[in-house]
Amino acid sequence: MGAFRVFHIIVCGLDSIVARRWINGMLISMVEYEEDGSVDETSIIPLVDGGTEGFKGNARVILPGVSACIDCTLDLYPPQVNYPLCTIANTPRLPEHCIEYVKIIQWPKEMPFGADVSLDGDDPQHLTWVYEKAQDRANTFNITGLSYRLVQGVLKNIIPAVASTNAVIAAACATEVFKIASSCCETLNNYMVFNDSDGIYTYTYEAEKKPDCLACSQVPRPVEVTDPATMTLQDLIQHLCDNAEFQMKSPGLTATIEGKNKTLYMATVKSIEEATRKNLTLSLAELGLQDGHELMVADVTNPNTILIKLKFASNEVEMA
């Protein structure tokens, strides 16, 4: 590779996949291309990323537009743990169930600090209230192991950190930054995994760049629709949030229908959300969406708008 722009980003302390994806998308948007379609290497800002979970960790080097980006390997990130509501409400067995019950059911119902006050995992008063209520519920079901620290961990999705693992991954990331800045030797190509839960084990491999990546390719990602007459816009939005390949948070959708750009739904702007809320219960067919229709999707996970392409399964059956 040639000379990179003299600016580097290290992402070692970010707990959020959303933050990683946003930075990843921003760096990709800054990449410039030559007339023949090749990447202008001087426009590349390398991204050095590291993360740990207990005794496991990873470090990687991303060259936006050249190597696999965060979204190319999105399925490598473990899904967040969710507890069934029936278990939380009726048959709690773990202290985490008691905490989730207070968070999901008791807080909205009792509104201890006012109707417009959201639960804040960093507020000591909120934490104390949740801890006391969760302790009462734990006592009712003879559940032990509840602690103030556990309450904070559940509310903020905190994963326990091990100092030795953090040190190894931080050193690996710092080494890669030194390599890039000094050109003293080749950088990591491009993903390193570390595990010291039972002895010490590490290996490297080259994560492959996805040709239809949501972030670093210009190819619309196909979304299969079983029946456009029954699948609602709400179902489509839920699919974009739950599917491992998308993992969106609050997507806003826009489409060109009959030659006009139409916002189907957007939750981030109150006035637009109120105006488009009625579309959530309409089927894709009722909205005028057809097989092959391309939708523009905006989400907090990416600073850029991405494209998805509807693929109706019913058309495939008819053709067969």
CA distances from residue 304 to 19, 214, 241, 296 in whole angstroms, order as listed: 14, 10, 17, 10
Q: What is the DSSP string of 72-115?
A: GGGGGSPPPP---HHHHHH---SHHHHHHHIIIIIHHHH-TT-T
Cα–Cα distance, 292 to 101 (Å, whole number) = 43
Phi, psi of 52 (to 5 degrees): -135, 155
Calculate the CA dihedral of residues 196, 200, 204, 207 and round it to 10 degrees: -20
Q: Name 61's bridge partners.
A: 48
Catalytic annotation, residues: 86
Cα–Cα distance, 159 to 156 (Å, whole number) = 9
In the DSSP assignment, the letter for residue 54 is B
Please count the residues of the chain: 320
CA distances from residue 18 to 15, 41, 234 in whole angstroms, order as listed: 9, 26, 22
Structure tokens, 304: 């850029």
Phi, psi of 284 (to 5 degrees): -60, -35
